[in-house]
Amino acid sequence: MASESTFARAFVSLLDPSSLLASDYVKDKAQLDKKPLVAMPKMPEAKKKTGVSGSGLVNIPIEEKTAKAEVAAETIEITIKTLKAPKLVITISAPSDDSIFNVKQLVVKQAAEQGVTTTADGVKLLIKGKVVPDSKILGDVAVDGKVAFIGAITEA
């Protein structure tokens, strides 16, 4: 039992924080490692800032917006096929800087010509099974000047 109590006292004395280092302790400069300073790698470039377009519906990167203003907008061929009733195949063309919402409005006009009445809210355009948001730019989803959507049209 005496050995246990001496062990406990020794252990508690080791835990005493005052016995570690004095508050004004400074390591000797001769003991410091003389390793060379290492330069940190360059940080990646910051993401482009976005500005709001004139309509207030679409965020367009500012740098791309000015570049597109100088160059004429490329025309993109759009094909929309619906899988369920009303079964339609619509082919239209639109400038690459158009939003998906504007494309939906063109789809509504084409559907009306084929006898289907709907609204832009009743049209859902999908790529690879995912709905494309209205704020997306057509040029972002097009490949080689063409894009094919699966359409879900709800009649009004």
User: Could you please report the per-residue DSSP string of 17-34?
Assistant: GGGS--TT----GGGS--
Q: Please give the average per-residue pLDDT across 113-118, as a whole number.
A: 93
In a domain, 68, yes or no: no
**Run of H or E including 12:** helix 2-15
135 within 8 A of 100, measured Cβ to Cβ: yes
Q: Please give the average per-residue pLDDT across 133-137, as a whole number.
A: 93
Q: How many CA atoms lie within 13 A of 141 on its CB side?
A: 25
Q: What is the pLDDT of residue 69?
A: 47
Q: Please give the average per-residue pLDDT across 92-118, as a whole number.
A: 94
**What contacts 58, CB < 8 A, 6 or more positions away?**
52, 99, 135, 137
Q: How many CA atoms lie within 13 A of 63 on its CB side?
A: 3
pTM of the entire predicted model: 0.54
In a domain, 109, yes or no: yes
Q: Please give the average per-residue pLDDT across 91-116, as a whole number.
A: 94
Condensed to tens digits (0 to 9), the pLDDT of residues 46-101 reads: 776 665 555 555 555 555 544 444 445 799 999 999 999 889 999 999 999 999 99
**Residue written as token pair 């924080």:** 17
The enclosing domain of 133 has a CATH number of 3.10.20.90
Q: Please give the average per-residue pLDDT across 98-127, as a whole number.
A: 94
Q: For residue 149, give its domain range.
A: 73-153
Amino acid at 129: G
**What's the domain count of the chain?**
1
In a domain, 87, yes or no: yes
Q: What is the pLDDT of residue 152?
A: 93
In a domain, 23, yes or no: no
